[in-house]
Amino acid sequence: MEITTAAEAGTRPAPADYFTGQVWQEPVARTPTAPPLAALKVSFAPGARTHWHTHPLGQTLHVLSGIGLVQARGAPARLIREGDSVWIPPGEEHWHGAAAGHAMCHLALQHVEGDAAVTWLDPVSEAEYAAAQG
């Protein structure tokens, strides 16, 4: 058994190369078993969001608080709220973040293949984000 305290884990800004707006990350877990699982608590300020991206082994999101959006490329955006869980299949291009005027916090869980848990793509444009609001 291994315990990592909140003080040890810390909170850090998400990399600006892959996010739009203020986003904070807190590592939750990274298991050593195959395939390793990486889990992060991700907090989005109103309007903040990821860039388009994929996961080689898929991703699960679980909303802890707030109101957010998730969208697969070519599909309509979906509203997500506290208690909602989202499964994103391997290789599906998608983005997620806070809805306009609302903060949102979720757990992001993804298995790691080799050294990669994510492949980052292009930013979500302002026009794409505005269209997602409905």
Tens-place pLDDT, residues 1-41: 888 888 888 899 999 999 999 999 999 988 887 788 899 99
CATH number at residue 123: 2.60.120.10
What is the pLDDT, as a whole number, of residue 114?
A: 81
Expressed as residue numbers, the domain containing 24 is 9-132
> Sign of the CA dihedral 79, 82, 85, 91?
positive
Cα gap 106→40, rounded to integer Å: 8
pLDDT in tens, 57-91: 999 999 999 999 999 999 999 999 999 999 999 99
Judge whether 93 lies within some domain: yes
Q: Give the per-residue pLDDT at 66.
A: 98
Cα 35–Cα 122–Cα 28 angle in degrees, nearest 5: 35
User: Is residue 4 situated within a structural domain?
Assistant: no
What's the number of domains the chain is made of? 1
Is 48 inside a domain boundary? Answer: yes
Closest alpha carbon to 129 in 82, 81, 96, 83: 96
User: Nearest-CA neighbor of 55 among 130, 109, 128, 134?
Assistant: 109
For 118, phi and psi rounded to 5 degrees? -155, 145
- Within a domain: 3: no
- The CA–CA distances, whole Å, from 34 to 13, 41, 48 equal 28, 22, 32
